Structure 1
Amino acid sequence: MFPSARVINSSIAAGGADGFMPNVETLAMLDPDVVVQWGDRGDDIVAPLRNAGMHTALMRYGTEQFARDSLTLMGEIAGKPDKARRLIAWREAVATEIAAKAAAMPDKRRLKVVYLQRASTGLVVAGANTYSDYYIRLVGGVNAAAELSGALAINAEQLAQWAPDVILLNGFEEQLTPRRIYDDPLLSGAKAAMERRVYKMPIGGYRWDPPSHENPLAWMWLAQLLYPDLFRYDLRKEIEESYQIVYGYRPSLSDIDSVLRLSVNGDARGYDRFTAVAPTPGHAP
């Protein structure tokens, strides 16, 4: 969508222990009007900007409210507050519609879901008080790891004991695919693996699993994935229409295939519903 982004100098992030320490000298050469920095990782990564006299805006991360606050902040910085309000209204409309349908679902229908925040080497699961927990519950699922709080390491035996109906793989580990679960001697015996219900989270302009401006698409995707008889979205149309509004870009059919990761999810149970278009009312912002 924005090929020129590939040549942006990334050395403004000098690194440090967590990779978020700013390189003030490089930033000063850019003469920015404002610098956006994480506001929840301590003052060590903020003080150098403040001491250099740079106007610094801080973003918090990890909840739905923080995601909406960040949209408001960026709308103000970009001089497009109306667009930010439109994107927030889109979130509210989709979340409200999904929550209303999910609330009426009997408990016996609710599927157990696990989101693996890391899985390439070792397993890290998203428990309660995580953003993954929020949207699993939003669409009517049960977070099988809700007995834990935050993101915690687990072993294969614990995952098997939870017997999740569905396993979601993170979008951060790019080489991670459902084969990691299907080919593992222990994990392949999990209910979700035996029923071919392991899915890698989609990725569009940004990943769909953490808080971002594309989350309504992720909610629709997961709702339809878990309960296709209850949620009948034309997700491909939703992607096409929302990307034109969010990015000013009309994705091709192959673009949408890539967003939905058909190459790795295509043989999973029920995923063929995302290859066909069935017109329904639109939900684009």
Structure 2
Amino acid sequence: MIRKRKSKIFPMMMIFLLICSVFFSLTGCGKKAETPKAATQTITDDAGRKVTIPKKINKCYYTSPIGMIMVYSLAPDKMAGLSMKLTDSEKKYIPSKYTSLPLLGGLQMNGNINTEQLAKVKPDVIFSIGPDDINKASVSTADKLQQQINIPVVVINSSFEKIDKAYALMGKILGVEDKAKELTNYCTDTVKEVTEATKNIPKEKRANVYYAEGPKGLTTEPSGSSHALVLDMVNGNNVAKVKAKPGSGMSDVSMEQVLSWNPDVILSWGKDDGGASDLIKTSEEWKNINAVKNGKIYEIPSLPFNWFDRPPSVNRYLGLRWLAATLYPDVYKVDMVKEVEKFYSLFYHTNISDNDAKALLNNSVK
């Protein structure tokens, strides 16, 4: 009988000791377990919204090509996908590991984000960045998107005068503050150099410029439009006297209006971008305009992203140097080949040759 009782007690004691051992190992020798702090932080975005995001961002997305380009310049390995389809020509200047990311779409020009595919790549945060100033509509869109997909959406103001703050906030969120500072320095130095060089050009010596958009060259942007900002900043005289369209822009004009404005310089998209540069050079309708007669029709460089506009992102800082040197070569002197190579290395993470840079500038400089 005694042996029988011991045989029952012994396994029960072993089970009890095992349970205690596990309990103490989990509770730190009998102390109350501490709940780890959640790995999140709350930031205030540029719309004044309080947004709770993970402290460490592994992947992020963006609602427009403007945001995509900014994230690409800052932290390309954190990109969750592409908001715009890239052509083979554009892909030449971007490493393949980024061009092969899934196309997820964006909200620009009444577009849509593929929320089903977005959920699969699981971004930690989404940046809402548009061409115009932040307003009630953009804030409402960000709130709705955040509620719809249950991913924090951070609104960023990427305007020229606030690029330092935009990069600083995004750099902090993405954990790349040093890179953000490097890019900010380039942008602010560019604005300072170009505006200092061109600010004192007398009105009578400012270039009269027409920005020809579209396949016929008969849509444009007036002074004050976000899509013509580069021209305004170099003190070019934008001849288009039309009302600006918000958002996507592209105000319609007539051939008669362009003839009456008679610009000395025409900026246009190339044929591969659906532009009118070839048409303008050869058409009977355009031949009597000063810019055509004097051969001052310049194709805006556009690979991998347009230097002047569309999308109006940080690519415009290189465009600022290019346009100042093109319109006012006696006032603003810069080795554009070297400048292109520097910019592509710094912002696009690719090293290009002198010949590549010259090809990008073909038909684009004096």
**What is the TM-score of this pair, normalised by structure 2?**
0.63
Partner of residue 253, structure 1? 354
What's the CA shift for 1:245?
2.5
1:153 to 245, 248, 252: 252
- Counterpart in 2 of 1:282? none
CA-CA distance at 1:258 after TM superposition: 3.4
Q: Which residue of 2 aligns with 1:6?
A: 99
CA gap of 1:138–1:122, structure 2 versus 1, over 3 A, is closer
* Comparing 146-155 and 162-171, the one that deviates more: 146-155
C-alpha distance in structure 1 between counterparts of 2:243 and 2:339, whole Å:
34
Match of 1:32 in 2: 123
In structure 1, what is the Cα distance between the partners aligned to 2:108 and 2:348? 32
What does 1:129-278 align with in structure 2 at a 5 Å threshold?
129-146=224-241, 148-150=243-245, 151=249, 152-170=251-269, 174-210=273-309, 211-260=312-361, 262=362, 265=363, 271=366
1:54 aligns with 2:155: no
Post-superposition Cα deviations, 1:15-58, rounded to whole Å, max 9, x if no partner, equal 89722x22222111111111233466654576244232112223
State the superposition RMSD in angstroms: 2.8
Question: 1: CA distance between counterparts of 2:321 and 2:109?
Answer: 36
Superposed CA offset, 1:70-124 (max 9, x none): 43343234321222222222222222222222222222211111112x2204621
After superposition, residues 58-137 of structure 1 pair within 5 angstroms as: 58-60=155-157, 63-65=159-161, 67-116=163-212, 118-121=213-216, 123-137=218-232
For 2:233, the aligned partner's letter is L
One-letter identity of the residue aligned with 1:160: L
CA distance in 1: counterparts of 2:148 and 2:258, whole angstroms: 47
Aligned letter for 1:55?
Answer: P
The 1-side partners of 2:120 and 2:282 are apart by: 50
What is the DSSP-based 3-state SS (H/G/I as helix, E as strand, rest coil) of the residue aligned with 2:301? coil
**Preserved CA contact (<8 Å) 1:22 1:48:** no
Aligned equivalents of 1:175, 1:135: Cα separation in 2: 21
Following superposition, the deviation at residue 161 of structure 1 comes to: 0.6
Farther-moved stretch of structure 1 (51-60 vs 233-242): 51-60
In structure 1, stretches of 5+ residues that fail to align are: 272-285
Matched, 1:18 2:117: no
* Residue identity in the other structure for 1:228: P
User: Residue by residue, what CA displacement relative to the aligned partner does 1:117-153 show, whole Å, maximum 9, x if unpaired?
Assistant: x220462111122135432232231111155434411
Instruction: Decide which moves more: 170-179 or 88-97.
Output: 170-179
One-letter amino acid of the counterpart of residue 130, structure 1: S
Cα separation, 2, equivalents of 1:140 and 1:215: 15
Alignment identity in percent? 24
Determine the C-alpha separation between the residues in 1 that align with 2:211 and 2:108: 29
Structure 1 pair 51–131 and aligned structure 2 pair: CA distance change class (3 A): closer
Give the whole-Å Cα distance in 1 for the aligned partners of 2:330 and 2:106. 49
- Rounded to whole Å, the distance in 2 between the matches of 1:114 and 1:182 is 14
Report the residue type matching 2:115 in the other structure.
V
- SS state at 1:189 partner: coil
Look up the match of 2:24: none
Instruction: Report the CA distance shift for 1:166/1:57 in structure 2 as closer, same or farther (over 3 A).
Output: same
**TM-score (norm: length of structure 1):** 0.79
Report what 2:3 is aligned to: none
Q: 1:28 to 1:204 in 2, by over 3 A?
A: same
Q: Answer whether contact 2:207 2:264 (CA < 8 A) is retained.
A: yes
Q: Name the CA distance, whole Å, in 2 between partners of 1:112 and 1:68.
A: 31
| In structure 1, distance between residues paired with 2:318 and 2:108 | 34
Q: Write the distance in 1 (CA, Å) between the matches of 2:174 and 2:106.
A: 25
Q: Distance in 2 between matches of 1:16 and 1:248?
A: 25
Cα gap change, 1:144/1:22 in structure 2, threshold over 3 Å: closer, same or farther?
Answer: same
CA contact (8 A) 1:113 1:142 kept: yes
Rg bigger for which structure? 2
| Counterpart-to-counterpart distance in 1, 2:190 and 2:307 | 15
How far 1:244 sits from its partner (Å)? Answer: 2.3
Task: Name the aligned partner's letter for residue 231 of structure 1.
Answer: Y
